[in-house]
Amino acid sequence: MSKLQEILEFNKEFVENKEYDKYRATKNPNKKLVILSCMDTRLTELLPKALNLKNGDVKLIKNAGASIMHPFGSIVRSIVVAVYEFQTDEVLVIGHHGCGMSNLNVDSTLEKAVERGISKDVINTLCNAGIDVKKWLHGFNSVEESVKESVELIKNHPLIPKDIKVHGLIIDPETGKLDVVVNGY
Ligand SMILES: [Zn+2]
């Protein structure tokens, strides 16, 4: 059975058995919180459990490394919408130890792309067009620094109101323990 088929079969039963009932929530986050975190598989269930978050409690944004690549990219856009349209008044940036985006070996990633059939010419063309692919792929050297930078960027963003509290934390992907890097109060 394909992965998709497996999911669709499970889904049919899920809906038929009304298992969605216990997840009913509204679009507005109960805790008025928006969280930016990493797509790391270990955090999928651990992060909400370790923070006591239920369905409907927060707006949760995830990407590789919990990082903001651009002040007018999709992450900040999501935060701005969460603030003005969904009544969130605090932001948590949650990086984690052992992140795949920490000291990512960009050369090795690009070698893998070439092995998978991406021509070197394509990569060179992108670079010649002014897209610094290595910089774009590169994560961060220190998760702590990365979290601090993201907090500063959100706090100082021209479209984020000054009364929004922005905190920075690091979560242990094994135990769920949180360490505060920036206390926004
Ligand atoms: Zn990560």
3-state SS record for 83-147: HHHCCCCEEEEEEECCCCCECCCHHHHHHHHHHCCCCHHHHHHHHHCCCCHHHHHCCECCHHHHH
- Which DSSP symbol is given to 73? S
Kindly report the average pLDDT of the chain as a whole number: 96
Binding region for Zn(2+): 38, 40, 96, 99
Q: Compute the C-alpha angle 27/94/77, nearest 5°.
A: 50
Distance 134 CA to ligand 1 centre (A): 18
In this prediction, residue 127 carries a pLDDT of 87
Binding region: 38, 40, 96, 99
The count of other CB atoms within 10 Å of the CB of residue 160 is 18
- Which DSSP symbol is given to 40? -
Considering the domain 26-104+139-182, what is its CATH architecture?
3-Layer(aba) Sandwich (3.40)
In this prediction, residue 15 carries a pLDDT of 98
- In a 10 Å sphere around its CB, with 0-12 CB exposed, 13-18 middle and 19+ buried, how is residue 95 labelled? buried
Distance 15 CA to ligand 1 centre (A): 32
**76, pLDDT greater than 90:** yes
The count of other CB atoms within 10 Å of the CB of residue 106 is 15
Per the CB < 8 A criterion, the answer to whether 170 and 143 are in contact is: yes
In this prediction, residue 85 carries a pLDDT of 97
Give residue-wise pLDDT tens across range 11-22. Answer: 999 999 999 999
**10, pLDDT greater than 90:** yes
Q: What are the φ/ψ torsions at residue 178 (nearest 5 degrees)?
A: -100, 140
In this prediction, residue 111 carries a pLDDT of 94
Buried b (16+ CB within 10 A) or exposed e, 27-56: eebebbbbbbbbebeebeebbbebbebeee
Distance 121 CA to ligand 1 centre (A): 30
* Tokens of residue 78, six digits: 């999501």
Distance 37 CA to ligand 1 centre (A): 8
Average pLDDT value for residue range 53-80:
97
Gap between the Cα atoms of 176 and 20, Å rounded: 26
**135, pLDDT greater than 90:** no
Distance 98 CA to ligand 1 centre (A): 7
